[in-house]
Structure 1
Amino acid sequence: MNRLTRAAVLAAGLLLAAACDESLTRPSDIEGRTWRLVSLTRTGTASINVADPSRYTLRFADGGHVNVRSDCNTCGGAYSLTGTSFSIGALACTRAFCGDASLDADYTRALQTARSLARAGTELTIQCDGVVLRFQM
């Protein structure tokens, strides 16, 4: 094989490998769906299973906007997703008291420290500073 042919074969192989990498998530993979929080795990502690996942949701919209339900509060903000790198900007939230047992403050605080995101089928995992959030569609 000549140099040009080798380069073309190598480039095609790299493109194919990137296309098959399921760890890379596109906005279209998460937009238009409601993601329900099923567990919150802090580093070094047991996982907290969410009793009513419908009270803690994410909904990604076109244009990089995210809507959040955090128990009795709602929030909105912007998000950025490139490959597995993920972040949520400052969230504008209502501030009702949802009760002592609520996860609302922990949940919204974790979302604002999000670093990466991965989707596997109907499951979405967001890695945050010291917290892992696991969602299902």
Structure 2
Amino acid sequence: MRGHLFSIAALLLTACAGTMESTEPTPDRLAGTQWQLVDIQYMDDTVLKPDAAGKYALRFDNNGSVSIKADCNMLGGSYTYTSPSGLEFGPLRSTMAFCGEKSLYSRFTKDMPFVRSFVIKDGNLHLALMADGGIYQFSPLP
């Protein structure tokens, strides 16, 4: 498991390192995409998985806004894409329903402000938390 995390982390670092400046705007690679959570992998080898498909999802709109389904709650706000693989979420507003003891909602609200980069590998989206905190893995939603 740890080897897989390190390879994803290495990909993210490589993607963020040393790119040439371009005068043309780079299209937002995430705009118009939707993803559902596969798992959360923390660097202490903790792996958390949703208890049902589709309970946790991201939708990146074409106008720089993001909608997040986190169990029984919805979060919304803005995101900033920086070429080639930088990603940061702005302040996220959220509904505040109690989703149950095993919900991953509190993880989402705690971790999303610390997302700094992403990579799309083998068709899946991997969001990296700052300081090698962990990786959120998502698969595409139809």
With normalisation by structure 2, the TM-score equals: 0.73
2:93 matched to which residue of 1? 92
Which residues of structure 2 form unaligned runs of 5+? 1-18, 20-25
- 1:119, distance to aligned residue in structure 2 (A): 1.1
Distance in 2 (CA, whole Å) between partners of 1:57 and 1:127 is 16
- 1:53, distance to aligned residue in structure 2 (A): 3.1
Instruction: Output one character per residue of 1:1-43: Cα deviation in whole Å (capped at 9) or x when no partner.
Output: xxxxxxxxxxxxxxxxx7xxxxxx952x322232001001122
Q: Indicate which of 125, 132, 136 corresponds to 2:135.
A: 132
CA RMSD, aligned part only?
A: 1.7
Query: Which aligned pairs between 1:5-24 and structure 2 lie closer than 5 A?
Result: none
The SS at the match of 1:53 is: coil
Q: 4+ runs of 1 displaced by more than 6 Å?
A: none
**Percent of pairs identical after alignment?**
29
Contact 2:31 2:64 in 1 (8 A): no
Cα 1:114–1:96 change in 2 (3 A) is same
Query: Which aligned pairs between 1:21-36 and structure 2 lie closer than 5 A?
Result: 26-27=27-28, 29-36=29-36
Larger helix fraction of residues: 1
- Structure number with bigger Rg: 1
1:66 matched to which residue of 2? 66
Query: How many residues align structurally?
Result: 113
1:115 matched to which residue of 2? 116
Instruction: Output one character per residue of 1:74-99: Cα deviation in whole Å (capped at 9) or x when no partner.
Output: 01111011111110011000000000
2:57 matched to which residue of 1? 57
Which residues of structure 1 form unaligned runs of 5+? 1-17, 19-24
Contact 2:120 2:126 in 1 (8 A): yes
With normalisation by structure 1, the TM-score equals: 0.75
